[in-house]
């Protein structure tokens, strides 16, 4: 896990009242975090995700997940570092916990 993924996991996701798993295989892909109850994949994106190759890969993964009834939410490393409270609130809303 990256330091931003560790921050999200060790200070927030692992303490939620719903089960969230990390590094969850899904078909040929691995999602950073997954809540089966909400069918929600949570991705933390570094700079490589904003380059053409990364964007194309993410688009294919998002399409695969969507076809399997899974929603994807993405947060940038910057958001994890600088807007962490907003990220936490957004996740709570998406999980129906807020």
What is the per-residue pLDDT across 68-89, written as a single tens digit (0 to 9) for each? 999 999 999 999 999 999 999 9
Helix (H, G, I), strand (E, B) or coil at 43: strand
CA angle 23, 82, 92 (to 5 degrees): 55
In angstroms, the Cα distances linking 22 to 27, 32, 42, 53 are 15, 6, 9, 24
For the domain made up of 3-91, give the CATH fold: Endonuclease; Chain A (3.40.960)
Every domain of the chain and the residues it spans = 3-91
Q: Taking 60 as the threshold, does the pLDDT of residue 49 lie above it?
A: no
Provide the pLDDT confidence category of residue 50 given band limits of 50, 70 and 90: low
Is the overall model pTM greater than 0.85, yes or no?
yes
Percent over 70 (pLDDT), the chain? 93
DSSP assignment, residue 68?
A: T
Residues 71 and 40 sit within 8 Å (Cβ to Cβ): yes
Give the mean pLDDT of the chain: 92
């Amino acid at each position: 896990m990256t330091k931003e993924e560790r921050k999200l996991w060790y200070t927030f996701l692992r303490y939620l009242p719903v089960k969230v798993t990390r590094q969850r295989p899904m078909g040929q892909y691995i999602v950073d975090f997954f809540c089966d109850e909400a069918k929600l994949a949570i991705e933390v994106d570094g700079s490589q995700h904003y380059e053409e190759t990364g964007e194309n890969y993410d688009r294919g993964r998002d399409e695969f997940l969507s076809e399997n009834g899974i929603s994807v939410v993405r947060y940038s490393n910057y958001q994890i570092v600088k807007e962490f409270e907003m990220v936490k609130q957004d996740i709570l809303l998406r999980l129906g916990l807020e």
